[in-house]
Amino acid sequence: MGRVSPPAVRRDPDRDPGLQPERTRLAWRRTTLSGTVVAVLAVKTTLHGGVSAAGIVACALCCVLWLGVLGLAHRRIRALAATPGPVAFAPRHAAAAVLCTVAMAVCGAALVL
Amino acid sequence: MIEFVRNVRLWFAPAEVRRDGETPDYRFSLANERTFLAWLRTALALIGGGFAVDQFLPDLRWGWRVGLALALLAAGVLCSLRAVNHWVRCERAMRRGEDLPVSRFPALLSLVVAVVAVAMVVVVLVGWEG
């Protein structure tokens, strides 16, 4: 996504701090949008062709995981906005986001099979 | 593989990452975070692709459809695990002032995506004939 800036132009260091957290915030937003697409597709898969109890459970789990991703993004966005020099991204936070994604894929496998 | 297991420990131990070296300029850390998020989106897209194969190619034989969907879902899982692993490695390299880690993964993933795409074209053509 066009983030390349011409190397010859030197940025004013005073302007950069406002920009980087903003871009990171938008990156989190895009990630939640991708998660939303996956959750919607999961609901569609569940409703398509015969609703079963196991399907409903997997779908509900997917929706909970989607909420988890939303919550993580929300927390991170709040942390980015809170201070001018943003707090470092914690490995635990990254691991939580990845675990949500992996669990969504596992639910997907359960739904597809 | 052993390196990977050692890194898994780091995912849950923020203090241990922070003990290494010096804190880099926060802009580098944020750039690393955005790269991580981009890989996570790639993983989510692969997972979404798995659902899409299952949903939007209903004329395929069960085996092919489920096989392709599971392959895409598995690729999504691998991609997301690799995302966090690469993020930790980059973070550590930046703190220690080392070169950023190189990786075979992007080449591998593009090959897998290309193979899946070709397989889908073949399977859709053959599947609709039979």
A90 vs B46: which has the higher pLDDT: B46
A72 vs B19: which has the higher pLDDT: A72
Q: For the segment B70-117, what is each residue's pLDDT rounded down to a tens digit? A: 999 999 999 999 999 999 999 889 988 888 888 899 999 999 999 988
Residues of A in contact with B14 (CB under 8 A): 90-92
Contact A97 B40 (CB under 8 A): yes
Residues of A in contact with B13 (CB under 8 A): 91
B11 burial level (CB within 10 Å; 0-12, 13-18, 19+): buried
Mutual orientation of helices B62-96 and A91-112 as an angle, nearest 10°?
A: 170
Q: Which has the closest alpha carbon to A94: B80, B128, B27, B116?
A: B80
Residues of A in contact with B29 (CB under 8 A): 88-89
How many contacts, defined by CB atoms under 8 Å, are there between A and B?
A: 129
The C-alpha of A10 sits at a distance from chain B's nearest C-alpha, in angstroms, of: 15
Domain extents in chain B: 24-129
ipTM comes to 0.83
If interface means Cβ-Cβ distance under 8 Å, which residues of chain A face chain B?
Answer: 1, 16-17, 20-21, 23-24, 27-28, 30-31, 34-35, 37-38, 41-42, 44-45, 48, 85-86, 88-92, 94-95, 97-98, 101-102, 104-106, 108-109, 111-113
Give the model's confidence band at B6: pLDDT under 50 very low, under 70 low, under 90 confident, else very high: confident
Most B CBs within 10 A among A33, A38, A99, hence the mutation to make, goes to A38
What's the whole-number average pLDDT of chain A? 84
B62 and chain A: CB distance < 8 Å anywhere? no
pLDDT of residue B19: 74
Highest mean pLDDT among A6-10, B6-10, B15-19, B113-117: B113-117
Contact between A61 and B72 (Cβ < 8 Å): no
Q: For the segment A33-83, what is each residue's pLDDT rounded down to a tens digit? A: 999 999 999 999 888 867 888 889 999 999 999 999 999 999 999 988 887
B129 vs A99: which has the higher pLDDT: A99
Mutual orientation of helices B2-11 and A91-112 as an angle, nearest 10°?
A: 110
